[in-house]
């Protein structure tokens, strides 16, 4: 637990890793990552697994990672043909936290 302001509930350290799997999702990846980051203080990191994109996805991911230290990008050099392999790659250490998986076309409203 971390310190809190008197009269408020104590804040806990970030505990959730959100995995976003992308492939040629340049049109959606920025919104998806920002949506994941906007889910509140519990988000420790957003792990984006690029499944060998051939569009502008890698460049957009590089900008997102440079702008926020919670964004970690894993780049595959060969497309897996599905979501299972990229998700498994993301869940290897150092992500021992609670995790959830998403795709680039999934956005959620921010947590207040």
Q: Where are the domains of the chain?
A: 16-103
> What is the predicted pLDDT for the residue at 25?
93
Per-run averaged pLDDT (10 residues), the chain, 112 residues: 54 78 94 91 90 97 97 92 75 57 58 58
- Judge contact between 105 and 35, C-beta under 8 A: no
Give, to the nearest 10 degrees, the angle between helix 57-67 and helix 29-37: 30
Reply yes or no on domain 16-103 having CATH 1.10.1380.10. no
| Among the listed residues 48, 60, 61, the one whose alpha carbon sits nearest the alpha carbon of residue 87 | 48
**Which residue do the tokens 């990008």 mark?**
73
> What is the predicted pLDDT for the residue at 1?
41
> What is the predicted pLDDT for the residue at 39?
87
Cis peptide before 94 (omega within 30 of 0): yes
pTM for the model stands at 0.73
> What is the predicted pLDDT for the residue at 66?
98
> What is the predicted pLDDT for the residue at 2?
47
Burial 93-110 (b: 16+ CB within 10 A, else e): eebeeebebbebeeeeee
């Amino acid at each position: 637990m971390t310190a809190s302001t008197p009269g408020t509930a104590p804040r806990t350290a970030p505990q959730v890793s959100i995995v976003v799997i992308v492939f040629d999702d340049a049109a959606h990846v920025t919104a998806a990552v920002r949506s994941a980051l906007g889910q509140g203080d519990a988000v420790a990191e957003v792990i984006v697994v690029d499944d060998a994109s051939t569009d502008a996805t890698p460049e957009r991911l590089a900008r997102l990672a440079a702008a926020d230290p919670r964004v970690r990008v894993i780049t595959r050099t060969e497309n897996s043909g599905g979501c299972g392999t990229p998700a498994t790659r993301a869940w290897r250490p150092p992500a021992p936290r609670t995790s959830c998986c998403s795709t680039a076309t999934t956005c959620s409203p921010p947590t207040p």
